[in-house]
Amino acid sequence: MKQKILLFTLYISIWTVLALHPWYRNDWLLENILVFIALPILIWSDRKTHFSTASALMLFLFFVLHAVGAHYTYSEMPWFSPITHFFGFERNHYDRLVHFLFGFLLFLPFYEFFNSFQRSAIHTFLFTSVFLIAASGIYEVIEWVTTKITHPDLGIAFLGVQGDQWDAQKDMACGYFGTLLASLVWYRPLLKENRIKF
C-alpha cells in the first residue's frame, strides 16, 4: 500500500510540473483527457483488484511516459531527437515506443483487473490479450474523432502522423507487438503461480 501511495504521489508531482508550461496547451489538454478519465477509474479499481506492486509500477511508468509526451507532444519529444539523428530516422518514434509500451506495460494490470471478475484464469489471460489488441485499434479511432470534434486545427500535432500516411496502422502494430511480447513474458510466471489452469 505504501509503495502505491508513493508512486501515486510521485506521479502527481511529475504530472504537475509537466502541466505548468507545456509546449502546446490545447494539445496538452487533449492528451490528458485519457488521464482525467483513466486515473479515477484506476483508483476505484484498485479497491476491488488490489493491484500488485509490479502492476502499480507499470501503470506509473506508462502514465509518466504519457505525461512527458503530452508536455512536448509525441511528435516533437526532444529526448528522442538524438536517437532520431543517430539512426537517420525520418520521424520521431517516441509515439511508437509508447504505443508498444501500452501493450507491454499494461498487460499485467489489466490481467489482474479482469481476473478479479472471473474464475477461469486462462480465459482472463486470453481476454486481456484480445482487449489490449482491440484497445490499440479503438484508441486510434477515438483519437481521430476527438480531434475532429474538439480541435480540428490540432490534427497534425495531436495525431502525430509526421507525414506518414500509415501512422495509425503502425501505431496499432506496435501495440499488438507489445501485447504479444507481454503475453509471452507473463504466461509462464502466471502458470507457475497456478493462476492459469487449463
181, 104 Cβ separation under 8 angstroms: yes
51, 4 Cβ separation under 8 angstroms: yes
User: What pLDDT score was predicted for residue 197?
Assistant: 44
User: What pLDDT score was predicted for residue 88?
Assistant: 60
User: What pLDDT score was predicted for residue 170?
Assistant: 79
Compute the distance between CA of residue 154 and CA of residue 132 in angstroms, rounded to an integer: 27
- List per-block mean pLDDT (blocks of 10 residues) for the chain, which spans 198 residues: 88 94 84 87 87 94 93 80 68 83 95 82 88 88 70 53 63 91 87 53
User: What pLDDT score was predicted for residue 198?
Assistant: 39
Task: Count Cβ neighbours within 10 Å for each residue of 56-78 and write b for 16 or more, e otherwise.
Answer: bbbbbebbbbbbbbbbbbbbbbe
Compute the distance between CA of residue 136 and CA of residue 175 in angstroms, rounded to an integer: 6
